[in-house]
Structure 1
């Protein structure tokens, strides 16, 4: 099955929204709404919720449902929202995806089924898994190709699924040498690859844009900075894009290599967007020295996150 070019394809900067907790580790829904408002004001073309950088693995099913509805109702169509619905079970993933669509999700993002360090599924089972989900919904599926799943997904296999499974059309590639994989995927999949995206906090963004990426799923703290890079590149000014990338790369590096998923929360708390930057135990709190290093780099760039609440 070969699709015509989708002129309404989602593209640009779609950061992952963190899940906001209070200091006791409970959901802070008012803080969550402020986080979402900031991320939209910072220039996010869209948002992703319930992803790994949202600590989705530390949430109960009931909390996931609550967050999904609170966020989608609060966004109220201002930007498209991607809902992560990853689950090992084909049936449960299809059910999660169906509920996300009913709640207003623009797309679902799903890793291939895996469990622990050793339970993996072969290509036939993975293909059946995504087909089961696709048959249950009418919105696009983004396959998240990330090392955390421990599941090799070759570019020919991804391209085949794009051509043969109706709603499989977006791909978040965040494995080593992502640019090479994006380039091969686009070449093999043609028009079926509606959205070749990069991830991993934009640490390889310029190479991935050069390879044909049309979207980037980054951390949630500084979409305004990532937009400078992506917008310049989309406008054909690759030199300006490279200059912006070099400017923001130290902060990208701090998030990707030092602070991890706690980074955007630290930035949001420092700027008064949220009251607590707590991550959910047993994740460790950010070391004070790591936090100070992150903020030192951020202050040189003056991102909106440090000014939004003032």
Structure 2
């Protein structure tokens, strides 16, 4: 692996809100401090699990500045900049670069179910962002609904210097990761998986260098990645098997509300409020989540206690 390769666990930071729905910036600082103490290799902000689609443009800039200034180099930061409009994506990339982010993450251009960039439009948007001069992580997520075949990803990696990192979290991620690495070779600097790590073992077997998970149990996820990269698949499988019920419940039942619930339970933040139209977790679902987490004794449940 080259030195610039992203490895380990890169959690997505949740965005805390006060009970009235306003941004909780002191809570945001505590979230970041908790992630540092969880031993994460880096952090991603303003992603889907940060509720980016529920945050205004002004709030995005406030959060970008706040997070990078508060961390002050303690962790490398990836800033998500996805948007359908290429000029907006470019401006977001410039801000992230100027504030010291190590990379930006972006999905292909899409808006709703019907406005989707063509292969050439996707290429052009990533090329425009590449001109800003900050490394790019391409996010291949089901949410966009945009088909990103491996030959297109390889072409972008080879022809756009800044397209270096890939977060593959589509259906059949391991198969796609294996093909991407085989066809892209050295141009694929960091092939990561996502989806909270629910398919992490298969993805690591396929060549993933790490994972972009949630901020719920990144220290335990990191242990799996570290063991696998050290060649100890048996230990990696044991760790993965231990945490999989909690990850499965997060992925299938809770979504981005899981990390917030865990952080409230552990005293990291005061409120697990999510903006309408996102409903709160059902009490039974929340109780099941905490019940699955407690035997794991994760940092998040004792950080603020």
TM-score, normalised to structure 1, is 0.97
Paired residues of 1:170 and 1:193 also in contact (CA < 8 A): yes
Quote the residue 1:211 is aligned against. Answer: 206
Quote the residue 2:175 is aligned against. Answer: 180
Q: Does 1:151 align with 2:143?
A: no
State the alpha-carbon separation in 2 of the partners of residues 118 and 200 from structure 1.
23
Shift of 1:8: 2.6
Paired residues of 1:145 and 1:153 also in contact (CA < 8 A): yes
Shift of 1:114: 0.5
Quote the residue 2:93 is aligned against. Answer: 97
Quote the residue 2:229 is aligned against. Answer: 234
Quote the residue 1:31 is aligned against. Answer: 27
Give the SS at the match of 2:120: helix
Equivalence map 1:68-147=2 (5 Å):
68-136=64-132, 138-147=133-142
Quote the residue 2:191 is aligned against. Answer: 196
State the alpha-carbon separation in 2 of the partners of residues 12 and 82 from structure 1.
14
Shift of 1:269: 0.2
Shift of 1:308: 1.1
Shift of 1:225: 1.0
Give the SS at the match of 1:43: coil
TM-score, normalised to structure 2, is 0.99
Quote the residue 2:271 is aligned against. Answer: 276
Paired residues of 2:4 and 2:189 also in contact (CA < 8 A): no
State the alpha-carbon separation in 1 of the partners of residues 251 and 165 from structure 2.
23
Paired residues of 2:156 and 2:163 also in contact (CA < 8 A): yes
State the alpha-carbon separation in 1 of the partners of residues 181 and 4 from structure 2.
18
Paired residues of 2:138 and 2:163 also in contact (CA < 8 A): yes
Quote the residue 2:256 is aligned against. Answer: 261
Extract unaligned runs of 5+ from structure 2. none
Give the SS at the match of 1:188: helix
Shift of 1:242: 0.3
How many residue pairs get aligned? The number is 305
Paired residues of 1:144 and 1:172 also in contact (CA < 8 A): yes
Shift of 1:6: 3.3
Deviations 1:204-251, CA, capped at 9 Å, x for gaps: 000000000002000111111101111111211110000000000011
Extract unaligned runs of 5+ from structure 1. none
Write out the 4+ residue segments of structure 1 that deviate beyond 3 Å after TM superposition.
none
Deviations 1:42-89, CA, capped at 9 Å, x for gaps: 111000000010000111111000001111011110110000000111
